[in-house]
Amino acid sequence: MYSTETLKRFKNPEFVGDMENPDAVGEIGNFKCGDVMKVYLKIKDDRIEDIKFETYGCVAAIASTDMMCELVKGKTLDEAYEMSNQEIVNGLKDLPPVKVHCSILGTRSLRDAIDKYREGISEK
Amino acid sequence: MMYVYLDNGATTQVDPRVTGKIIKYMNDRYGNASSLHFKGREAKKALDKARHTIASSINARADEIYFTSGGTEGNNLILKGVAFANREKGNHIITTKVEHKCVLESCKWLEKQGFKITYLDVDEEGFVDIEQLKNAISDRTILVSVIHGNNEIGTINDLKEIGRICGEKGVYFHSDACQSYTKVAIDVQEMPVDLLTLNAHKIHGPKGVGAIYVRDGVKIEGWQHGGFHEMGIRAGTENIHGIVGFAEAVKLSLSSKHISYMTRLRDKLIDGVMTRIPYVRLNGPRGEKRLCNNAHFSFKFIEGEAINGLLDDYGICGSTGSACSEKTLEPSYVLKSLGLNHEMMNGSLRMTLSRFTTEEEIDYVLEVLPLVIRRLREISPFKEEQHVFNRDA
Ligand SMILES: Cc1ncc(COP(=O)(O)O)c(C=O)c1O
Ligand SMILES: [Zn+2]
């Protein structure tokens, strides 16, 4: 059902874990409805210098968020914000259609983190 | 690497002795049981013998056994066949919320045909609510259908007690015994059950074969029309090699030694998990009222499909009722009926043993599973909750 690339990432995700003193944290989902995703960002000169995630999630959630992290690392916040879910699915080679909803948790919590970061900046 | 198959609730490895029989009947004894020549007679003899084997395994008569293409067909045939054959008596059927999909979907279809269905609740261990059952039976009720051994959480309902209630009220009683067959002794002379569904692939037989028991005198109407096979209830050239394989599987499975062997390993697995891993719940009852091959857990803070994904990497096959594992993206309705919250439903893991499961395999699982659970908890965002529980513990 899952592609080899998806399983490989799921089993050995590179970007899992929490982060000390992140510049921004995004979170999506809740305990009740299933998967939960938390993304941590280190931001320098408007670029994503480092990214980590933690999840209460399935195989697809873990693999696709790991893929997303690899794709956005080093990108500007604007570029990262605009990244489409299709790029992640392409990166994983394939994802079963019913699993796409699990894979958007990563991008949604990334956007949440960027939103919060920008709000914080504008408040300062 | 070690390979450990603990998904015997889904299906089982075919016993090589069963395979041997099947091949013999495919290669050499391929006759049609309806033919009058010696090849046909050879097949008919095997069919009769197999019917006798299934019948005596539940203390029934051979003419009360009808072969089917498996559990799904058996349940469809019984629910629809009894409903339509007894329409003049009433239009009400009682079942439970934790039946196999093929029972629930048959009931849904019957609702569309004008039948009324009552879906009984179960308690937190999965046992059917007996009081609710008593109150639900009316003079319009024609059939009560309650699963014997639950396929997810292993709860074994009391056929004697339920059957007695149905008998007093003059209502037919059916039980889906696909999971319990040969794992719990069934005696239709002692248990007042009128109809049973059995299949082969849960007991090391082939897929696509099963049987129903219909007590002599019970009114049921066939759905599959054609030649006069299976005493007119189910037309179609008999799947002789499958049926012979099924009977062989029954013979090999029927032994209290197998039951006590699986029970011991099951309890070793359950006790091992409960002591080695924190924040875990056992779903379903303990002891004799649980299928001897079923263990079912919920782990806090993590998701079941991911648990199985990592176990798969260690060569261990299990299953889960989590939302993400289902095409519907809804967690298991069986776990919902127990009253579990979303977190506990989504963090579920079912491991089902067979008589081929070894002690070494259980030891291996008890070594690997704590690592897998820890690894996923480490990347879970519910760190604070875990700390709170750690402090409380
Ligand atoms: C309790 C129960 N009933 C019915 C079935 C369906 O049986 P089959 O796969 O033979 O159609 C199964 C197995 O999937 C089962 O576990
Ligand atoms: Zn998911």
pLDDT (tens digit per residue) in A86-117: 999 999 998 988 888 888 889 999 999 999 99
Q: Which residue of B has its CA nearest to A16?
A: B379
Identify the band that residue B392 occupies on the pLDDT scale cut at 50, 70 and 90: very low
Q: What is the helix (H) or strand (E) element at residue B12, kind and residue range?
A: none
Residue B393 has pLDDT above 50, yes or no: no
Task: Choose one of B222, B253, B284: the last residue of a domain.
Answer: B253
Cβ–Cβ gap A31/B343 under 8 Å: yes
Which of A36 and B5 is assigned the larger pLDDT?
Answer: B5
Residue nearest to atom 6 of ligand 1 (CA): B71
Within this chain, do residues B44 and B179 fall inside the same structural domain, yes or no? yes
Within this chain, do residues B315 and B200 fall inside the same structural domain, yes or no? no
Q: Ligand 1 centre and the CA of B203: distance in Å?
A: 12
Within this chain, do residues B213 and B279 fall inside the same structural domain, yes or no? no
**Does some domain include residue B25?**
yes
**Collapsing DSSP states into helix, strand and coil, what is residue B302?**
coil
B166 is catalytic: no
Cβ–Cβ gap B306/A31 under 8 Å: no
Q: What is the helix (H) or strand (E) element at residue B69, kind and residue range?
A: none
CA A31 vs. chain centroid, Å, equals 18
What pLDDT score was predicted for residue A120? 84
Cα torsion B79, B159, B18, B42: sign? negative
Mean pLDDT confidence for B156-179:
97
- What is the domain count for chain B? 2
CA A88 vs. chain centroid, Å, equals 10
What pLDDT score was predicted for residue A123? 66
Name the β-bridge partners of B119. B95
What pLDDT score was predicted for residue B259? 98
Q: Ligand 1 centre and the CA of B151: distance in Å?
A: 8
Residue from A12, A21, A31, A33 carrying the catalytic annotation: A33
**Does some domain include residue A124?**
no
Question: Is B318:B372 a contact under the CB 8 Å cutoff?
Answer: no
**Does some domain include residue A66?**
yes
Q: Is the CB of B210 under 6 A from ligand 1?
A: yes
Contacts of A65 (CB under 8 A, 6+ apart): A13, A15, A37, A39, A53, A55, A57, A103, A105, A106
Mean pLDDT of chain B: 95
Count the neighbouring beta carbons within 10 Å of the beta carbon of residue B333: 17
pLDDT (tens digit per residue) in B218-230: 999 999 999 999 9
Within this chain, do residues B287 and B308 fall inside the same structural domain, yes or no? yes
Q: Ligand 1 centre and the CA of B75: distance in Å?
A: 9
CA distance B72 to B50: 20
Pocket probe for ligand 1: among B150, B199, B202, B352, the residue whose CB has the most ligand atoms within 8 Å is B199
Within this chain, do residues B182 and B74 fall inside the same structural domain, yes or no? yes
Residue nearest to atom 14 of ligand 1 (CA): B10
Would you say the pTM of this structure is higher than 0.80? Answer: yes
Within this chain, do residues B178 and B99 fall inside the same structural domain, yes or no? yes
Chain B residues closer than 8 Å to A36 by CB = 381-382
- What is the domain count for chain A? 1
Q: What residues have their beta carbon closer than 5 A to ion ligand 2?
A: A 35, 58, 61, 102; B 324
Pocket probe for ligand 1: among B100, B182, B204, B209, the residue whose CB has the most ligand atoms within 8 Å is B100
Q: Ligand 1 centre and the CA of B160: distance in Å?
A: 22
CATH code for position A91 = 3.90.1010.10
Residue nearest to atom 7 of ligand 1 (CA): B71
Torsion of CA B104, B108, B109, B112, to 10 degrees: 170
pLDDT (tens digit per residue) in A61-71: 999 999 999 99
Q: Is the CB of B70 under 6 A from ligand 1?
A: yes
Within this chain, do residues B135 and B209 fall inside the same structural domain, yes or no? yes
Within this chain, do residues B292 and B321 fall inside the same structural domain, yes or no? yes
Question: Which of A17, A34, A56 comes nearest B302 by C-beta?
Answer: A56
Q: Which residues of B366-381 are buried (b: 16+ CB within 10 A; e: fewer)?
A: bebbeebbeebbebbb
Within this chain, do residues B339 and B197 fall inside the same structural domain, yes or no? no
Cβ–Cβ gap A57/B303 under 8 Å: yes
pLDDT (tens digit per residue) in B322-368: 988 877 778 999 999 999 988 899 999 999 999 999 999 999 999 99
**Does some domain include residue B226?**
yes
Q: Which amino acid is present at A12? A: N
B106, two tokens: 């048959």
Q: Is the CB of B154 under 6 A from ligand 1?
A: no
Within this chain, do residues B44 and B115 fall inside the same structural domain, yes or no? yes
What pLDDT score was predicted for residue A75? 96
Task: Choose one of B190, B219, B253: the last residue of a domain.
Answer: B253
What pLDDT score was predicted for residue A32? 47
Within this chain, do residues B249 and B272 fall inside the same structural domain, yes or no? no
**Collapsing DSSP states into helix, strand and coil, what is residue B120?**
strand
**Does some domain include residue A79?**
yes
**Does some domain include residue B129?**
yes
Q: Which domain holds residue A20?
A: 4-119
**Does some domain include residue B393?**
no
Query: Which one, of B7, B2, B3, B4, lies nearest residue B351 by Cα?
Result: B7
Q: DSSP per residue over chain A, as a string?
A: ---HHHHHHHHS-SSBS--SS-SEEEEE--TTTS-EEEEEEEEETTEEEEEEEEEE--HHHHHHHHHHHHHHTT-BHHHHHH--HHHHHHHTS---GGGHHHHHHHHHHHHHHHHHHHHHHHH-
Contacts of B180 (CB under 8 A, 6+ apart): B148, B149, B156, B186, B291
Question: Which of B301, B309, B379 comes nearest A16 by C-beta?
Answer: B379
Within this chain, do residues B53 and B180 fall inside the same structural domain, yes or no? yes
**Does some domain include residue B266?**
yes
CATH code for position B382 = 3.90.1150.10
B165, two tokens: 């209630």
Pairing of β B294-299 and β B280-282 = antiparallel
Question: Is B128:B96 a contact under the CB 8 Å cutoff?
Answer: yes
**Collapsing DSSP states into helix, strand and coil, what is residue B247?**
helix
Q: ipTM score of the complex?
A: 0.92
B224, two tokens: 């599959």
CA distances from B234 to B85, B100, B188, B224, B247 (A): 15, 22, 22, 5, 19
What pLDDT score was predicted for residue B279? 95
Query: Which one, of B214, B206, B201, B148, lies nearest residue B177 by Cα?
Result: B148
Task: Choose one of B192, B221, B253: the last residue of a domain.
Answer: B253
Q: Which domain holds residue B302?
A: 4-12+256-386
